[in-house]
Amino acid sequence: MIDTVVFDFDGTLANTNQIIINSFKHIYSVFRNEECDMEYVMNTFGEPLALTLSRDFGKFNFEDVIACYREYQKDRFSQEVTLYDTVEDTLKYLNNKNIKMGIATSRLKSSTMSALKIFDVVKYFHIIISADDVNKHKPDKEPLMKAIEGLKSLPEKTLYVGDSKFDMECAINAKVTPVLAGWQHGSEELAEKYNIKYVLDKMWDLTKIIKSNNLNI
């Protein structure tokens, strides 16, 4: 029986791909005076931003780089970022079925909470574990386990929905059933690499997985 679902945020609940790519283009232009490799940037999705920026902009002042990144997004987020198709309907359905829900994301707490409030979905989540809540980040199991423990749930009764290799490895490391958001580039290869049983075409497909595991729903 499944009684808990934990979600990633970026690329899973919300389509933040383009604003992230544009933000990297901006800081590459400002600090390195060069174009960024979009494929490389997309491969970092799911990794904590601080880790990516420290690696790629190590010779610059970190606070200047991250401030520039955030400033670029400041007035663009609410216009350029949207929830994926059927996300809100799925959250409402699961909430009505008393499924416990949480988030385990590599995004910082402040920006995660801000985004959830913009979309008016924060009410559906009983716990939100962000990059600043853990010592070890995905693919380590710590963020997901912290969410599960906070929800008083068990790994074997939990689904983790994510879109990146970091999410799939995190779920596997935590002995949680991974569910892949199949709308990202390379999702077929990811599903094959990690032998993912559940791949979503749209978020509403999650309700079918819940029903198939919970005959009383």
Instruction: Kindly list the catalytic residues.
Output: 8
84: which DSSP letter? P
Count CA atoms within 13 Å of residue 79 on its CB side: 5
Coil, strand or helix: which one is 128?
A: strand
Listed residue (55, 77, 95, 97) closest to 9, CA to CA: 77
Give the three-class secondary structure for 129. strand
Q: Which of 149, 152, 172, 150 is nearest to 160 (CA)?
A: 172
